[in-house]
Amino acid sequence: MGYKWKKPIKNSLLLPFLCTPLLLSAQKAEISGVAAYYDSTSIVELYDQTPVGLEITYKNGDTRQTEGFMQGDYRWKYIKVTTPDGVFRNGYLSFDRHKVAQQHYQVKLEVTLPEAAGQAFETTLQLPYITGIRFNHYADSLKRGIHFYLNVEARFSTGKIYPLDTAAVRFETSAGKLLGQDLLLPEGDTTRFITVKAVSRTNPKLAISSVIPVKQKPDDDSMIINDERDVLDKRKKRKG
């Protein structure tokens, strides 16, 4: 007499419910891509470091974000990120600006995730870059013997405008002496106009020139008060 297998009704009913989470988990583990973003509040236009966030997209349409500025639930301790363009550690990127400038400010990242062991996902982080520079002088003319600050501003691909220092631009002048970002013309110099030029260190094609007039007439010191008693004396004379 042969053995007839009887299908267990209870187990067969429970089987779909038990398998569903496993199937969903398997589907979620199928990653379709990884995107990288930088924190726009970190002023990465000027500083060579920034918090970075990742968004992982799955084939079933789900997405997950990393902890930190993206406020996701994916912990950095489970993620491995490497880059040839700097140092990446716990969601923080430090980079060499001069190097990434040669790559159109694109940083390559290689991401390894636990649900896709043995598989690395490549993504590119686009950093902001300078689109133009300009002089924005604080005074209309230069006075001999007084430091004149060369204020240079840059417009970035983000639309933001920030001042630049000598780490970002180099200066040239037709007269006077450059002291860091200051221009100084000696007292006895007879120059009437000075041409200054600013050139981006990362992109020499970005350059701007400006002609600064040298003040010729001496300052009118007649309104300067050297002693407050002089003011009181003038008031008394008016009353008298």
Q: Which of 77, 100, 126 finishes a domain?
A: 126
User: Average of pLDDT values for 14-42?
Assistant: 69
Q: Supply the mean pLDDT for the chain.
A: 86
- Reading the block at residue 157, the tokens are 């691909």
User: Which run of H or of E encompasses 96?
Assistant: none
Q: Is residue 184 part of a domain?
A: yes
Q: What is the pLDDT of residues 129-147, one digit of tens each?
A: 999 999 999 999 999 999 9
The span from the CA of 81 to the CA of 83, in Å, is: 7
Q: Is 186:150 a contact under the CB 8 Å cutoff?
A: no
Task: Round to the nearest angstrom and report the end-to-end CA distance of the chain.
Answer: 141
User: Average of pLDDT values for 44-64?
Assistant: 96
Q: Is residue 173 part of a domain?
A: yes
Burial, 198: exposed, middle or buried (Cβ in 10 Å; 0-12, 13-18, 19+)?
Answer: buried
User: Average of pLDDT values for 11-38?
Assistant: 63
CA atoms within 13 A on the CB side of 168: 20
Q: Where are the alpha helices (DSSP H) in 56-179?
A: 97-101
Q: What is the pLDDT of residue 9?
A: 47
Q: What is the pLDDT of residue 89?
A: 96
Q: What is the pLDDT of residue 240?
A: 56
Residues 182 and 145 in one domain: yes
Q: Is residue 203 part of a domain?
A: yes
Residues 110 and 168 in one domain: no
Q: What is the pLDDT of residue 20?
A: 46
State the residue range of the domain holding 170: 130-213
Instruction: List, in order, residues 6 or more apart from 108 with CB less than 8 Å away.
Output: 83, 84, 85, 122, 123, 124, 125
User: Average of pLDDT values for 74-95?
Assistant: 97
Residues 69 and 108 in one domain: yes
What b-and-e string marks burial along 5-43, b requiring 16 or more CB atoms within 10 Å of the CB? eeeeeeeeeeeeeeeeeeeeeeebeebeebbbbbbeebe
User: Average of pLDDT values for 111-134?
Assistant: 94
Residues 46 and 84 in one domain: yes
Residues 34 and 119 in one domain: yes
User: Average of pLDDT values for 227-232?
Assistant: 63
Q: Which of 96, 126, 156 finishes a domain?
A: 126
Residues 120 and 141 in one domain: no
Q: What is the pLDDT of residue 227?
A: 66
Q: Is the pLDDT of residue 103 over 70?
A: yes
Q: How many domains does the chain have?
A: 2
Q: What is the pLDDT of residues 203-226, one digit of tens each?
A: 999 999 999 999 987 665 555 666
Q: What is the CATH number of the domain that holds 47?
A: 2.60.40
* Of the candidates 105, 107, 98, 129, the residue with the CA atom closest to the CA atom of residue 201: 98
Residues 41 and 71 in one domain: yes
Q: What is the pLDDT of residues 172-189, one digit of tens each?
A: 999 999 999 999 999 999
